[in-house]
Amino acid sequence: MPLRINETAPDFTASTTHGPISFHEWIGDGWAVLFSHPKNFTPVCTTELGTMAGMEGEFRKRGVKIIGISVDPVESHDKWKSDIRTATGFDVEYPLIGDHDLKVAKLYEMLPATAGDSSEGRTPADNATVRSVYVIGPDKKVKLILTYPMTTGRNFDEILRAIDSIQLTARHQVATPANWKQGEDVIITAAVSNDDAIQRFGSFDTVLPYLRKTKQPAG
């Protein structure tokens, strides 16, 4: 069965550019983003990993660790880093998993089951589904899953925006509307009565009987 939101993210051990890890232990008590790419030394992936390197501080502010993965070996990741720096100006300092035996890619449904058992001889086209993003919470549950086609580089600002929403709504009984950004009004969930909403949020606007908006709660 495909991995679903609110399921426990599969644990695994793997070799990375920072040495061996056990995934759940590596996450610890915080948040994590696991993101995959089709193949090293390819153009879109080079821009993506450099962009993520430049944004690592923003993820860190939110208590989020980032870790990349492809079916290339760790040695290839290390060699590729200089190209990423040349193309984007950023050094990749977060760990990259070398999933040469496709174990993690299959565990997270990144590849078809018929993909074989090795990355040997694979082309980017063989790895077309491996441009995925998993946001994982401190409870080790999957909070967000995104999968992009091979030719479409990801918008990592959107991933940060989604994390802001997920973390906010985990702390308060609110939801976020379409295109919401940090600091904008939020939606009060149906589980909160009007009287309770006044106590919690001070005031709110009733747009429709089932749509109540209020200022973003602090904290």
DSSP 117: S
pLDDT score of 129: 61
Tell whether the model's pLDDT for residue 174 goes beyond 60: yes
Alpha-carbon distances of 26 from 53, 88, 100, rounded to whole Å:
19, 27, 20
Closest CA to 34 of 68, 72, 73: 68
Tell whether the model's pLDDT for residue 3 goes beyond 60: yes
Q: List the catalytic residue out of 33, 34, 45, 150.
A: 45
Residues of the chain with CATH 3.30.1020.10: 172-214
pLDDT score of 151: 87
Grouping H, G, I as helix, E, B as strand and the rest as coil, residue 67 is: strand
For residue 45, indicate whether it is catalytic: yes
pLDDT score of 128: 57
Say which residue the tokens 């496709």 belong to: 102
pLDDT score of 199: 94
Q: What pLDDT, in 10s, does the model give residues 32-44?
A: 999 999 999 999 9
Return the H-helix or E-strand segment holding 208: strand 205-208
Residues of the chain with CATH 3.40.30.10: 13-151
Summary mean pLDDT of the chain: 93
What span, in angstroms and rounded, lies between the C-alpha atoms of 189 and 186?
9
Alpha-carbon distances of 157 from 59, 154, 190, rounded to whole Å:
10, 9, 29
pLDDT score of 86: 98
Instruction: Report the range of poorest mean pLDDT among 93-107, 120-134, 202-216.
Output: 120-134
pLDDT score of 216: 97
pLDDT score of 29: 97
Split at pLDDT 50, 70, 90, the class of 131 is confident
The structure's pTM equals 0.92
Checking 152-156 for CB contacts under 8 A at 24+ apart, the result is: 152/44, 153/44, 153/47, 153/48, 154/35, 154/48, 156/48, 156/51, 156/52, 156/55
What fold is seen in the domain 13-151?
Answer: Glutaredoxin (3.40.30)
What span, in angstroms and rounded, lies between the C-alpha atoms of 197 and 205?
11
Q: What pLDDT, in 10s, does the model give residues 72-109?
A: 999 999 999 999 999 999 999 999 999 988 899 989 98
Q: What is the CA radius of gyration of the chain?
A: 19
pLDDT score of 113: 54
What fold is seen in the domain 172-214?
Answer: Antioxidant, Horf6; Chain A, domain 2 (3.30.1020)
Contact 58, 90 (CB under 8 A): no
Overall average pLDDT of the 131-147 stretch: 96
Name the amino acid, one letter, at 97.
Answer: I
